[in-house]
Amino acid sequence: MTAALLPKTVVLVGAGPGDPGLITVRGAEALARAEVVVYDHLANERLLDLAPETALRICAGKSVGHCTMTQDQINAALAEHAAAGRSVVRLKGGDPLVFGRGSEEAAYLRERGIPFEIVPGVTAGVGATAFAGIPVTSRGVASAVAFVTGHQAPDVPRKADSPSRLDWSALAKFPGTLVFYMGVTHLPTIARTLIQEGKSPATPAAVVASGSTPVQNVVVADLATIAERVQAAGVRPPALLVVGEVVAQREALAWFESRPLFGLRIVVTRPREEALRSAATLEAMGAEALIAPTVEIRAIEDHGPLDAAIDRLDDYDWLVFTSSNGVRRFLDRLLELGRDLRALGRLRLAAIGPTTAQALAAYHLRADLIPPSFRSESLAEALGKVAAGSRILLARADRGRAILKDELSAVAEVDQVAVYRNLDAESFPSAVLNRIEAGTVDWITLTSPAIAARLHAIVSPEARRRIGREINLATISPVTSSTVRELGWNVAVEAPVHSWDGLIEALAAHVSRAVPGT
């Protein structure tokens, strides 16, 4: 179905418990079409990257110290934007209908005749527990699971000794796993009440905090001691309390915390499109990825020179690519012009490094030459040996180092053509800047000298002071490292293999060698 055929509605989307990969495909599609996104503080802000750049993003977070909107204001904002004919996504943590007030928002819209749709999400009781290696049901161990609120609205009268009007005696007898949401602050009362009502004090219990995120923290004890243990561990919300024999299975099933980059908060400074792909690798390895592009890739404005070069391909012996973007933009343009890969038939191909060669491989093309080291000097030297006296076309960004053309011109006939534009980002995302200034970031990855220089130029002096000291820098190559050092920053890790994967591998190797706690 094309987007134009879809009615404009308010879509209540479950964002999942934390890891941005836990949104549903349908939720992601709704975000991609959104003109307005109203999001909760429990929804991972990285998901906002799935919405068009032009979409209005409204933070409805209801936590202290965060942007705050009352439920009435949220309802009104949803209705107002929908009534103005905009596609609205209401992004809520976990599942919208599990302790999420999604039903209230939907009822409000229904009363006003505003169409809505509900996209379920992975609720924390299932998602955070899975990331903690705790199955909520298990054959022969727990045949039922109850999701229970541990929180009570202040206006609801309470029984003297229990945190809510729940039937605690029934809960204590419940034949299965109990999962309490919003229960950390009431933890001592919940545990005590369950024991008073007959639940064994030896029942395994766990608190799963920030499940599925890089700061996931799981405390396991028995029902009698869990409150004490959680207090000692300084556990912070959001957290779930899980009570039942299934908790014992975590010992065998825990998996997330042992990921190679678990717990690290890593800034990706590459152009947005690549940064999104890179972030996915980092997240799969257990890290939190913060996207802050310092340069952007854009299409060239005037295709004339590129089209002319494509027309004259037969005049050349070598076609040289210095980036994967160059490969994609060049070949896509060639296809757009109605040509196909036969246009390259007699050309030899050079790629500056493994990632560029991979981009060629995606078009079923093999690089004839990849220099031993991923840098212009190395490419110039390698090409100089095999391409002396021949005609070379360099397909590259509109700006970049001139060294390749300069060196090759001594031995060959060289033309260069810009296939895309490299622009400086005008500003640095404030959310990421705040994290750098607060020291709540561990690493920044740098994949080119231009990116390093731009980062230095657009961050605040306070951030500049922290970077390269408390916040480690990982670079893709010696060229990038030397720029970093010229900027006055230290390099903690330099990738021996000059590709994104090489960089991440080097980072993972570095942290696995580091002594924990240092």
Based on the residue annotation, tell me whether 159 is a catalytic residue of this protein: no
- The residue nearest ligand SAH at its CB is 94
Q: Smallest distance from the beta carbon of 12 to ligand SAH, in angstroms?
A: 11
Q: Give the residue among 61, 48, 53, 474 at the shortest CA–CA distance from 265.
A: 474
Lookup: tokens for 219: 């405390």
Whichever of 213 and 447 has its CB closer to ligand SAH, that residue is 213
Q: Taking CB under 6 A as the rule, does residue 17 contact ligand SAH?
A: yes
- Give the one residue of 237, 439, 488, 496 binding ligand SAH; rule: CB under 6 A: 237
Span near ligand SAH by CB under 6 A; candidates 21-29, 95-103, 352-360, 429-437 = 95-103
Residues whose CB falls within 8 Å of the CB of residue 67, separated by 6 or more in sequence, listed in order: 41, 59, 60, 61
**Do residues 184 and 239 lie in contact, with contact meaning Cβ atoms separated by under 8 Å?**
yes
Binding mask 199-228 for ligand SAH (x = CB under 6 A): ---------xxxxxx---------------
Q: DSSP string spanning 331-383?
A: HHHHHHTT--GGGGTT-EEEESSHHHHHHHHTTT---SB--SSSSHHHHHHHH
In degrees rounded to 5, what are phi and psi of residue 446?
Answer: -130, 120
Q: Taking CB under 6 A as the rule, does residue 371 contact ligand SAH?
A: no
Q: Smallest distance from the beta carbon of 209 to ligand SAH, in angstroms?
A: 6
Q: Taking CB under 6 A as the rule, does residue 240 contact ligand SAH?
A: yes
Q: Taking CB under 6 A as the rule, does residue 39 contact ligand SAH?
A: no
- Give the one residue of 10, 78, 91, 94 binding ligand SAH; rule: CB under 6 A: 94
Distances (CA, A) of 211 to 132, 452, 468: 7, 33, 30
Whichever of 99 and 318 has its CB closer to ligand SAH, that residue is 99
Lookup: tokens for 222: 């028995």
Span near ligand SAH by CB under 6 A; candidates 82-90, 92-100, 401-409, 488-496 = 92-100
Report the site for ligand SAH in 341-370 (rule: CB under 6 A): none
SS (H, E, C) 465-506: HHECCCEEEEECCHHHHHHHHHCCCCCCEECCCCCHHHHHHH
Whichever of 212 and 355 has its CB closer to ligand SAH, that residue is 212
CA angle 422, 443, 463 (to 5 degrees): 75
Number of shown-chain residues binding ligand SAH (CB under 6 A) = 25
Q: Give the residue among 324, 280, 336, 363 at the shortest CA–CA distance from 46.
A: 280
**Do residues 211 and 236 lie in contact, with contact meaning Cβ atoms separated by under 8 Å?**
no
Whichever of 98 and 471 has its CB closer to ligand SAH, that residue is 98
Report the site for ligand SAH in 52-81 (rule: CB under 6 A): none
Residues whose CB falls within 8 Å of the CB of residue 155, separated by 6 or more in sequence, listed in order: none
> Cα torsion for 97, 103, 109, 111, to the nearest 10°?
160
Residue where the block lists tokens 């992004």: 91
Q: Taking CB under 6 A as the rule, does residue 106 contact ligand SAH?
A: no
- Give the one residue of 204, 238, 271, 371 binding ligand SAH; rule: CB under 6 A: 238
Q: Taking CB under 6 A as the rule, does residue 239 contact ligand SAH?
A: yes
Residues whose CB falls within 8 Å of the CB of residue 430, separated by 6 or more in sequence, listed in order: none
- Give the one residue of 10, 11, 18, 77 binding ligand SAH; rule: CB under 6 A: 18
- Give the one residue of 100, 135, 286, 293 binding ligand SAH; rule: CB under 6 A: 100
* Long-range contacts (CB closer than 8 Å, 24 or more residues apart) made by 348-352: 348/317, 348/318, 348/319, 348/387, 349/318, 349/319, 349/320, 349/321, 350/318, 350/319, 350/320, 350/321, 350/379, 350/382, 350/383, 351/321, 351/327, 352/320, 352/321, 352/322, 352/323, 352/376, 352/379
- Give the one residue of 11, 13, 23, 98 binding ligand SAH; rule: CB under 6 A: 98
Report the site for ligand SAH in 149-188 (rule: CB under 6 A): 181-182
Whichever of 265 and 333 has its CB closer to ligand SAH, that residue is 265
Q: 8, 19, 49, 62: which one is catalytic?
A: 62
Span near ligand SAH by CB under 6 A; candidates 49-57, 218-226, 238-246, 423-431 = 238-246
Q: Taking CB under 6 A as the rule, does residue 142 contact ligand SAH?
A: no
Q: Smallest distance from the beta carbon of 332 to ligand SAH, in angstroms?
A: 40
Whichever of 237 and 488 has its CB closer to ligand SAH, that residue is 237
Q: Smallest distance from the beta carbon of 13 to ligand SAH, in angstroms?
A: 11
Q: 19, 40, 95, 442: which one is catalytic?
A: 40
Peptide bond into 238 cis (omega under 30): yes
User: In a 10 Å sphere around its CB, with 0-12 CB exposed, 13-18 middle and 19+ buried, how is residue 357 labelled?
Assistant: buried
Binding mask 119-138 for ligand SAH (x = CB under 6 A): ----xx---x----------
Query: Quick check: helix, strand or coil at residue 255?
Result: coil
- Give the one residue of 27, 93, 353, 449 binding ligand SAH; rule: CB under 6 A: 93
Based on the residue annotation, tell me whether 317 is a catalytic residue of this protein: no
Binding positions for ligand SAH, rule: CB under 6 A? 17-18, 42, 92-95, 98-100, 123-124, 128, 181-182, 208-213, 237-240
Active-site residue list = 40, 62
